[in-house]
Amino acid sequence: MVTMFAVLLFLIILVEIAAIIAGYVFRNKLSAVVQDSLTDMISGYKNGTDEFRSSLDKLQEDLKCCGVNSSSDWRSFRGDGNSVPDSCCVTLSANCGVGAMRDAATVHQKGCHDALEAFLKKNLLWVIVAALVIAGLQILGIVFSCMLMRGIRSGYEVM
């Protein structure tokens, strides 16, 4: 069982290394991934679940942004073509985004694409450090399990 543990832990480390390599290779495509993801989120906002809508609202509130590239990305949000979700408002209140798409005093005009991309790039170093720490702990796990295997085998040889 200890041997199986060491082998499985080694396989997990290989998968993590593959993920790190893939992340490094595709690091320049971060902008396109963020753009596509945000566009999909906005198009699915109306028909999404409450949790989905609240997560997008929280993103817009925290990053102080609206839409993908600007607040005009919400043109199809309501029938009037000039409304945005309340989470886009500078001062959050009920129905503050109705008819205020282009009002810079009421609604954030900056899109979430640049803000989210900057946030991800800023925190990428912490993700790498965390991955290295976890990999180090896993390597220690393999070393200790191999030492335990050796100890168990030497115990059987004595008998």
Model confidence at 11, pLDDT cuts 50, 70, 90, reads very high
Q: Are 89 and 107 in contact (CB under 8 A)?
A: yes
CA angle 41, 44, 49 (to 5 degrees): 100
Q: Is the pLDDT of residue 62 over 90?
A: yes
- What digits encode the pLDDT tens for the residues 84-94? 999 999 998 88
CA distance 133 to 47: 40
The amino acid at residue 64 is K
Model confidence at 65, pLDDT cuts 50, 70, 90, reads very high
Domains and CATH numbers, the chain: 2-158 (1.10.1450.10)
- What digits encode the pLDDT tens for the residues 18-46? 887 887 777 778 788 888 999 999 888 88
Burial class (CB in 10 A: 0-12, 13-18, 19+), 10: middle
Q: Are 56 and 99 in contact (CB under 8 A)?
A: no
- The proportion of the chain whose per-residue pLDDT surpasses 90, expressed as a percent, equals 30
Name the region of 14 (left: φ>0; alpha: ψ -120 to 50; beta: rest): alpha
Q: Say what the alpha-carbon torsion angle 92, 95, 116, 56 is, to the nearest 10 degrees.
A: 110
Model confidence at 157, pLDDT cuts 50, 70, 90, reads low
pLDDT given for residue 32 in this prediction: 87
